[in-house]
Structure 1
Amino acid sequence: MWLHEIEWTLSVICTSLSITCLSVRVLLQPFSYLLHTHPGTMQFCLCVSLLLAYSLFLVSQKAAAYSSFCWAISLLLHWAFLSSLVWIHAITYDLWGRFRHGRILSSMRERGSLKKVTIYCCLSPSLIVGTACIFDKFYQSSSFSPMYGNGICWINQSNALIVFFVGPASFLCVTNLILIVLMFRDLHVHYKWSKFINSLSISSPVLSISICTKMTCLTGATLLIGLLAGFVNDPFLWMAFTVINSSCGLLVGVTLMWNKRLWRSLALPLKKRTCVWTRGTSSRERRLHVNSVYTDTRSNYSSSKTQSTHHM
């Protein structure tokens, strides 16, 4: 009994810290031009999804079991956590695409690409949760019925949990690991690309392989500990899973904000920051500085590559 009380207390504390850290990252979005890039906006959407998930988790602790409110919280919680995992996958895939093809997007193309990514990150978890909802409403006797809210405000059947959450989450983590391995392989083969990536990171703190690696390893480790705890059914493993799962938002938020360039841009005086950030107030003009850095970096890299080829 005392273990459950400790576990509940730790989960509330860690979840509150995660919500606080994610809220700080969300509130920083308007105040730094570094966060107005395509990757920075994707990072913002990830934090919003995690913030929604952890807020719903706290609310679910007070919801009565077998109630319509608990059922709705369970469904939304399922969608929010899946959406967060899909956003991590989208960030990793976007980095792989930029790194693999040296893609420098214009403002218009960035906005169009962001719309497609947003549709993907919202529609994919909606399809999974919608299918689970159909089983919950029309096939309640099936072992694949999630039984939302029947006991706790979450999925209450192991088969449904594997099919509708653990399976998709594992697929996304494995895919992310493959993309990260491919990026490290290309870095090893074409080591000069590291300079290109570091130059791009000047204008986009999200554009980092280390950030994607940390988030993927974090989610993968959480899944593995959760599966192991369910298989062994050890209370201490469940406590470790609860603490790590509740702290994911805190760790992700710290990882995304652990960037000197970001805090230096925030530390600039308002007048100077405005001069560096934009030449106007429109969203198109806000990207002029970042896009010019992208273009100059790419042209410098291409020219250096051409010169090295001629010397050979």
Structure 2
Amino acid sequence: MASLPQTEFERRLSAFAGTIAAHLERLLPTGGAPAPRLVEAMRYALLAPGKRIRPFFVAESARLFEVGEIPALQAGAAIECVHCYSLVHDDLPAMDDDDLRRGRPTVHKAFDEATAILAGDALLTFAFEILSSEATHADASVRGELIAELAKAAGKDGMAGGQMLDLAAESEKIADLGRIVTLQAMKTGALFRFALRAGAILGKAGANERAALSLYADRIGLAFQIADDILDVEASSATLGKTAGKDKVAGKATYVDLLGLDGAKAEARKLVDEAKDALALFAGKATILAAAADYVVARRK
């Protein structure tokens, strides 16, 4: 499938990052909060510079079904809240114990551990508050479906469950490709799946369209994680905006460990091709999503 040149795609992604950041700013203002330090910590995590690739996927999947801008931004804001909550908690001393995120001190370093825990909790619950708003969709059944899908993506069968499997794999020093694929499909892939399906839910799309976007999301989620593993080996902390090489130090088995660097790059490329093939149903309407698939493995941070 044809896709945009990467320079044009990156321009669109950057422009959208500004749009969703402004929407997040409106949703979480500083004034009038009864617990201002908590809101300050939430904003510190949520408004830090980032690619905003997950809400971008929401917006682009919504565009396939001619969904309005505000509903797409609302669903995109919700998934960004969940993603940022996960980063705050991942960085805690009890988890990855990291000092750097998005080129800045992590939340528990900028504030304190207790505030970081509460900020993560509040960002997670704020996501569902956003989805429950009538601004997200006039139809309550659509809002309910979005809430249910995001809850599953974030919970025991999705991101949180994947993180638990990741901790177990680290402590047990087990290097098994099938196990890594499963845990990454949960830890990373579940939010990508929600992001792509959210647009279809907002647009009340049919089963075939939802299945195509789910397949695209599954392939992209794995490709994204493989690209992360490659960057963890090849890139510097300054480039990544977070600590490079930490998976190796922690003893975590990665795609690079199991497939080799060249093998991991080839597998990522194969997954991207499969993701783009899944978009055939949408023909020329999905050129931006096709470019997004290429970007996932071409990015350098």
Q: Could you say whether these structures have the same fold, taking a TM-score greater than 0.5 normalized by the shorter chain as the test?
A: no
**TM-score of the superposition, structure 2-length normalised?**
0.32
Structure number with bigger Rg: 1
User: Which structure is higher in helix share?
Assistant: 1
